[in-house]
Amino acid sequence: MRKAIIAGNWKMNKTMAETKAMIEELKPLVENADCDVVLCVPFTDIQTAKRAAKGSQIKIGAENVHWAEKGAFTGEISADMLKELKVDYVIIGHSERRQYFGETDETVNKRVQAALNAKLKPIVCVGETEAEREGGLTEKVLERQLVEGLKGFKSKDFDKIVIAYEPVWAIGTGKTATATDANNTIGYIRHVLAKKFHKSIAEKTRIQYGGSMNVKNCKELMAMEEIDGGLIGGASLKADDFSQIVNYNK
């Protein structure tokens, strides 16, 4: 059985003061959650978030990590730096990184390796753009992102790796894939994992849906067989909304 995982992706939102306030509000609301609860926050909020989340089951993640151990990479953060902050998860290859910051399948692969070396759990994002979807390229794009992005990883690595299927056209737009479409596409991702990696990997890897997931649609999405969780942007910024998603099964 795969344990569900609901993760927030704050993107470039919240100061330290706002971080502390939201997590303090959130803590009592999610104390009986049955799923893994994660908040991926800006680098500058990590320490505050860790402190505020202490004594709760909320795990803290980062939103990116560089692949090099150290060196002349102005503005970047290494996996060891995150490890020292006791970060648990890190988002890798989000479509906004791919779209605005030149992220490729190859750099995704290197970042996942660096994260695993530091014992961080990578949340690897894949998903097609609207044009790719309209061009009938969804499966091809997903297969390429999975095969190239996860190249070289072994079965034990997939105990840590979480995949987030985020159709780019659904992110921040209010458009959600229907629960059936999301379920089918995640089923396809599992098929690729079985074909290109191993059947046991396809069975054990947790795969989230992301893209305008909210209080209203979370129950229906989470009821789907293939969907093991959510990566939540906008709706993770308010304690009330996020806690309702975390408690989708209550």
Query: Which of 26, 46, 53, 232: binder of ligand PGA (CB under 6 A)?
Result: 232
The distance of Cα 155 from the centroid of its chain, to the nearest Å, equals 19
Query: Which tokens belong to 16?
Result: 């330290």
Residue 111 identity? R
Q: Which is nearer to ligand PGA, 78 or 103 (CB)?
A: 103
3-state secondary structure (DSSP) of residue 128 = coil
CA proximity to 59, closest of 138, 151, 191, 162: 162
Q: Examine residue 166 and tell whether it contacts ligand PGA (CB under 6 A).
A: yes
List 63, 94, 96, 132, catalytic entry: 94
Q: Per CB under 6 A, does 210 bind ligand PGA?
A: yes
Rule CB under 6 A: say whether 36 interacts with ligand PGA: no
Q: CB nearer to ligand PGA: give 92 or 201.
A: 92
Identify the three-state secondary structure at position 144.
helix
Q: How many CA atoms lie within 13 A of 198 on its CB side?
A: 10
| Residues in 72-101 at the binding interface with ligand PGA, rule: CB under 6 A | none
Interface region with ligand PGA, contact rule CB under 6 A, candidates 43-51, 130-138, 143-151, 204-212: 204-212
Q: In whole angstroms, what is the distance from residue 75 CA to residue 106 CA?
A: 20
| Residue 233 lies near ligand PGA (rule: CB under 6 A) | yes
Catalytic site positions: 94, 166
Interface contacts to ligand PGA, rule CB under 6 A: 9, 166, 171-172, 210-213, 231-235
